[in-house]
Amino acid sequence: MNNSHSASYAAAGVNIEAGYEGVRLMKRHVERTLIPGVVSDLGGFGGLFEPDTKGMSRPVLVSGTDGVGTKQRIAQLMDKHDTVGIDCVAMCVNDIVCCGAKPLFFLDYIAIGKNDPEKVATLVSGVAEGCVQAGCALIGGETAEHPGTMAPNDYDLAGFSVGMVDRDKVISQSSMREGDVILALPSSGLHSNGYSLVRKVFDVEHADLSKYCEELGSTLGEALLTPTVIYVKPVLAAIAAAEVHGISHITGGGFYENIPRCVPDGLTARVEKAAVKTPAIFSLLQRVGNIPERDMFNTYNMGVGMTMIVSRDTADKALEALRSHGCNAYVLGDVVSGEDKVALA
């Protein structure tokens, strides 16, 4: 590999040596994520993982893929690239844990205008941190230099994760019933959704993102870059402790799109709006952008990054398990009979 060089390719704008240097720099971050099951080294054509299926009668693989979206534009404007990788992992693993699956491994993809090994390694450091938080391994990835199609400082970060769950333990809406309790798992802020509207409202291309905002208790840039919460460990603990009938990751589409995805016909998830604990960034966004409340709840998580619907008899056990893993969950509402799958009262 050290002898690999193409002057012609370099003249076209692709520096393959920079790619090799990026891999060298990211290795120490990847090593933090290694867990039992990893049977390959970084740099191969495929990442190998041997899952432990002991105790499972019918192991099922669950996959999820996503990106960071235009939130990464904030990172580019602030020249701060060590947290968006957490967002990338979160958007994938938070999806697959909704069916009760434990994430096993993750792979990332970075498209970048000009390959800056230090920047790429910093991006991967965030991905590695996200994997550590989720308890999964970073077993591979790809960095692609795109001269002429992307500006030199631009990049796009995406990835996917694979998890596993016993078929008999998949979270199924068929067990949901009237009287179940809806729990709110707090978000850290905007997470990674609705940033096209965020960028428009705050005019981020011209705003001073480093200016301290009293209302937020931070700079605007810091608030906008706050990483997405990774809920894997508290959710798996709650599943083990309680009778869980439905889980929704509140992403793009907010409450109105995501909560109904786990609610069967004939039932309604009744959410008490007054119970929602909403961080200041949402109030500021709504006021500055003059955004109707309905649109806010139909676009953003409003402070609730995930909802969990549990049996009333085991709600306290679920709350205890979530809180013991650092998630300050609270009761958000209940399940009633009805035609609309979600109602905000």
Q: Which of 6-20, 22-36, 281-295, 316-330 has the lowest mean pLDDT?
A: 6-20
Residue 85, φ and ψ in degrees, nearest 5: -65, -35
Query: How many other β-carbons are positioned within 10 Å of the β-carbon of residue 225?
Result: 24
- One-letter amino acid at 42 equals L
Q: Is the pLDDT of residue 59 over 50?
A: yes
Is CATH 3.30.1330.10 the classification given to domain 7-169?
yes
- Residue 201 identity: V
Lowest-pLDDT range, 48-52, 100-104, 286-290? 48-52
Q: Coil, strand or helix: which one is 111?
A: strand
| DSSP H or E stretch at residue 75 | helix 71-78
Please tell me the predicted confidence (pLDDT) of residue 42.
72
Looking at residues 143-160, what average pLDDT do you find?
94
**Domain 173-344: assigned CATH number:** 3.90.650.10
Model pTM?
A: 0.93
> 342: burial class by Cβ within 10 Å (0-12, 13-18, 19+)?
buried
Give the start-to-end residue ranges of the domains of the chain: 7-169, 173-344
pLDDT: is 40 or 308 the higher one? 308
